[in-house]
């Protein structure tokens, strides 16, 4: 067993796990944070995207051990004080989540995009999300939700 200390959604966590475990497995199995999903566990679909120190990573390709001392953000950390994040609000309002399985990954990828580029163009949104697959929506409602959230966050 390996033990690491890292920050998850702004809170310090100390967790012990088998050293071969991926960040995805540590989050889901050892911390019970099942909001992070998996579609392949081979780095192909983007469904397990989380933010590592603010950067989107595929948690199925990151070893848990490598996160010692770093900060991880998952979908569970997005809503604060019982209030949805603007991206969560617009995803819910516009129907950007159908089955909802890829949604946590898209939300985090979008959050990272807006942090770096608060008013992205449609093309910049497409580029930022090109590594995330969604089989339900055709992506269009996702673009629209990100654009609306960007607008609201600027005026907030």
Partner 1 sequence: MHRVIGKALRKVDAVAKVTGATRFADDLTFPRMLYCKLLRSTQPHARIVSVDASAAAKLDGVQAVLTGRDLPIPFGILPVSQDEHALCVERVRFIGDPVAAVAATSEETATAALDLIKVQYEPLKSFASAEEAVEHPEPRIHDYGDSGNLHKLIDLEFGDADEGIAEGDLVREDLFFFEGSTHLPMEQHAALAQWSPLPDGKLTLWTSTQTPHYVHRALAKVLELPAARIRVIATPNGGGFGGKSDPFSHELVVAKFAMMTGRPVKITLTREEVFYCHRGRHPTLMWVRTGVKRDGAITGMHFKSLLDGGAYGSYGVASTYYTGALQTVTYHVPRYHFQGARAFTNKAPCGPKRGHGTPQPRFALEVHIDKIAEELHLDPAELRLKTLVPANSLTANYLRVGSMGLGQCITKVVEGSGWKKKFRKLPRGRGVGLACSSYISGAGLPIYWNNMPHSGVQLKCDRGGGVTVFCGSTEIGQGSDSILAYIVAEVLGVDPFDIAVVTGDTDLTPVDLGSYSSRVTLMSGNAALQAAERARQILALHAAQQLEIPAERLTFADGRVFDGKNPKHGMSFAEAVQRAEAAEGTIGTVGSYTPPQSAGKYRGAGVGPSPAYSYSACVAEVDVDPETGIVRVPTIWIAHDVGRSINSASVIGQVEGSIYMGLGEALMEEMAYRGDLKVVHKIPSLLEYKSPTTLEMCDVVTYLIEDPDPNGPFGAKEVGQGPLLPVMPAVANAVYDAVGVRVDEVPITPEKVFKALRRKEKGEPARYGPDHFPDIAWPEPTRVPTPWEGGDGKAVSPASV
The correct pick among 13, 65, 98, 151 for binding partner 1 (CB under 8 A) is 98
Please say which residue, 39 or 71, places its beta carbon nearer to partner 1. 39
The four Cα atoms 87, 72, 128, 102 give a dihedral, to 10 degrees, of -60
101 near partner 1, judged by CB under 8 A: yes
Please say which residue, 5 or 42, places its beta carbon nearer to partner 1. 42
Q: At what angle do helices 103-116 and 122-129 cross, to 10 degrees?
A: 130
Residue 23 CA to residue 66 CA, distance in Å, equals 8
Relative to beta strand 55-58, strand 49-52 is: antiparallel
Q: What are 130's two structure tokens?
A: 């090109």
147 near partner 1, judged by CB under 8 A: no
Task: Please count the residues of the chain.
Answer: 156
The correct pick among 34, 55, 117, 121 for binding partner 1 (CB under 8 A) is 34
Helices (H), the chain: 23-25, 86-94, 103-116, 122-129, 140-155
Q: Least Å distance between CB 72 and partner 1?
A: 14
Is the Cβ–Cβ distance between 78 and 69 less than 8 Å?
no
61 near partner 1, judged by CB under 8 A: no
The correct pick among 63, 65, 66, 84 for binding partner 1 (CB under 8 A) is 84
Please say which residue, 8 or 141, places its beta carbon nearer to partner 1. 141
Q: What are 106's two structure tokens?
A: 């898209």
The correct pick among 9, 22, 47, 59 for binding partner 1 (CB under 8 A) is 47
Binding site for partner 1 (CB under 8 A): 28, 33-42, 44-45, 47, 74-76, 78-79, 84, 88-89, 91-95, 97-104, 107, 125-127, 129-141, 143
């Amino acid at each position: 067993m390996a033990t690491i200390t890292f920050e998850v959604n702004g809170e310090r966590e100390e967790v012990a796990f088998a050293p071969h475990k991926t960040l995805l497995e540590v989050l889901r199995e050892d911390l019970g944070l099942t909001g992070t999903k998996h579609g392949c566990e081979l780095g192909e679909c983007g469904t397990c995207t989380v933010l590592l120190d603010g950067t989107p990573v595929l948690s199925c390709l990151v070893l848990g051990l490598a996160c010692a001392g770093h900060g991880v953000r998952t979908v569970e950390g997005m809503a604060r004080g019982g209030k949805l994040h603007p991206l969560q609000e617009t995803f819910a309002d516009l129907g950007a989540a159908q089955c909802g399985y890829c949604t946590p990954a898209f939300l985090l990828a979008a959050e990272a995009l807006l942090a770096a580029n608060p008013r992205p163009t449609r093309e910049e949104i497409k580029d930022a999300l090109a590594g995330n697959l969604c089989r339900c929506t055709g992506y269009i409602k996702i673009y629209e939700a990100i654009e609306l959230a960007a607008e609201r966050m600027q005026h907030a």
